[in-house]
């Protein structure tokens, strides 16, 4: 009945090969005096034409410097860049370093700096911590909390499907993260998908890459060089209308349904699969919303998915309201252990 979308609904950002980014990173010792320095105390933009050299970052400032990081390995590659596992030389602490190649105008840089500042001020156990960001010579480097289980996408590739009790425990954490972003930070994620939900050996699930997609889209969107994935995008966003935080709830519904069934919930019209991403976009806007098969899943799960994928965003429930949905707590008595569920499949940390 349901088929995996067999096309890549992404347009690629033209980038130098990731190897050259890695080389640049390891060879460069000057990141700490980049054009743009963002840390938890504020944002500073220093244009290259400025004669005043910004003061060096001292360890006593409690700031991270990229030259103090040893690159351990590349842990992931996305549309816009590469993610490395790095280790701080003095504290031995692990971080994830996201490196994005992007030559941007001053104006976009300021917007990005503001966005990253919001990210850095986020304090929520369900949101990936962003420690510091740097911009130098068209390369943005973001120091993030390292999540040793990788993404839900990586995990789903191994397990194929996630049983309901685990899904409820995952869903609860994502809803708490979304409620925090929506209500306290007034951020719409805009790109909620399995690869932006990260997991670790403690059984924690955290949201990452919030807000960044807005900058990427607004910077590159008009030039048509960057377009994110459309698979999880709400009908109102696809239609180009106004959208709000409820857009993320649609994405959550599609993500959970895919995790439960192991398949992306929109089937292509023909046997050969989707021929282009417009077909999928039309399907999301025109077709009735997807639903969980009632013969395979609990009525609570089916009802939860329907609450998320209402086509009218006004009818769709908020993250806070969904936290009260019967599905979210229905397996609480089982004492679901996400920690061993995530670790038994084999975390990338085990292969270090
Ligand atoms: P896209 O670029 O289309 O949004 P993506 O989300 O997969 O796709 P990235 O955000 O660059 O792209 O992440 C690539 C991969 O790197 C993720 O799928 C995940 O496996 C890994 N990754 C990202 N951030 C972290 C992190 N903080 N800790 C551990 N692994 C991470
Ligand atoms: Mg991502």
Q: What's the rounded Cα separation, in Å, for the pair 77 and 40?
A: 26
3-state DSSP percent of the chain in helix, strand and coil, to 5 = 40, 15, 45
Each of the 352 residues of the chain gets a pLDDT tens digit; together they read: 444 333 333 333 222 333 332 232 233 332 332 332 223 332 222 333 333 333 433 333 457 888 899 999 999 998 778 999 999 998 999 999 999 887 667 777 777 777 777 777 778 999 999 888 888 888 889 999 999 999 999 999 999 999 999 999 999 999 999 999 999 988 899 899 999 999 999 999 999 988 665 655 555 443 334 445 778 999 999 888 889 999 999 999 999 999 999 999 987 766 666 666 788 888 999 999 999 999 999 999 999 999 999 999 999 999 999 999 999 999 999 999 999 999 987 545 444 4
- The pTM of the full predicted model, rounded to 2 decimals, is 0.80
From the CA of 349, which ligand is nearest?
1
Ligand 1 lined by 151 (C-beta under 6 Å): yes
**DSSP secondary structure string for all residues of 219-230:** HHTTTTS-B---
- Cα→Cα distances 169→94, 106, 332, Å: 26, 43, 8
| Nearest residue by C-alpha to atom 5 in ligand 1 | 78
191 is catalytic: yes
Where are the extended beta strands (E) located within 180-332? 197-199, 205-207
| 196 vs 127: CA distance, rounded Å | 10
Is 77 annotated in a binding site? The answer is no
Q: Give the DSSP letter of residue 181.
A: I
Report the distance separating Cα 4 and Cα 264, nearest Å.
5
List of residues 6+ apart from 218 with CB closer than 8 A: 108, 111
78 in contact with ligand 1, CB cutoff 6 A = yes
Active-site pick, 35, 148, 154, 191: 191
| Measured CA distances, 275 to 6, 7, 229, 269 (Å) | 8, 7, 15, 9
């Amino acid at each position: 009945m349901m088929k995996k979308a067999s096309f890549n609904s992404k347009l690629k950002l033209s980038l130098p090969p990731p190897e050259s980014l890695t080389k640049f990173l390891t060879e460069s010792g000057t990141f700490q005096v980049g054009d743009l320095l963002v840390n938890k105390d504020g944002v500073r933009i220093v244009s290259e034409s400025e004669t005043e050299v910004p003061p060096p970052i001292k360890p006593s400032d409690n700031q991270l410097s990229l030259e103090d990081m040893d690159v351990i390995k590349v842990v992931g590659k996305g549309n816009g860049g590469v993610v490395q596992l790095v280790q701080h030389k003095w504290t031995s602490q692990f971080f994830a370093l996201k490196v994005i190649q992007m030559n941007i105008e001053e104006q976009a840089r300021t917007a990005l700096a503001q966005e990253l500042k919001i990210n850095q001020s986020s304090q929520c156990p369900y949101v990936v911590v962003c420690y510091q960001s740097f911009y130098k010579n068209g390369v943005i480097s973001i120091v993030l909390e390292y999540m040793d289980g990788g993404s839900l996408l990586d995990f789903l590739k191994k397990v194929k499907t996630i049983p309901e009790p685990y899904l409820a425990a995952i869903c609860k954490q994502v809803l708490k993260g979304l409620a925090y972003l929506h209500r306290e930070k007034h951020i719409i994620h805009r790109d909620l998908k399995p690869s932006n939900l990260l997991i670790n050996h403690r059984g924690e699930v955290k949201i990452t890459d919030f807000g960044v997609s807005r900058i990427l889209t607004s910077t590159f969107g008009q030039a048509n060089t960057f377009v994110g994935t459309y698979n999880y995008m709400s009908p109102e966003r696809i239609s180009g209308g106004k959208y709000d935080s409820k857009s993320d709830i649609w994405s959550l519904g599609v993500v959970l349904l895919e995790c439960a069934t192991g398949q992306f919930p929109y089937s292509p019209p023909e046997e050969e699969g989707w021929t282009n991403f417009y077909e999928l976009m039309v399907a999301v806007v025109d077709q009735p919303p997807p639903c969980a098969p009632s013969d395979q899943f609990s009525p609570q799960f089916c009802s939860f998915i329907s609450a998320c994928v209402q086509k009218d965003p006004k009818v769709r429930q908020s993250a806070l309201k969904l936290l009260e949905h019967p599905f979210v707590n229905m397996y609480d008595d089982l004492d679901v252990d996400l920690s061993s569920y995530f670790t038994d499949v084999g975390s990338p940390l085990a292969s270090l």
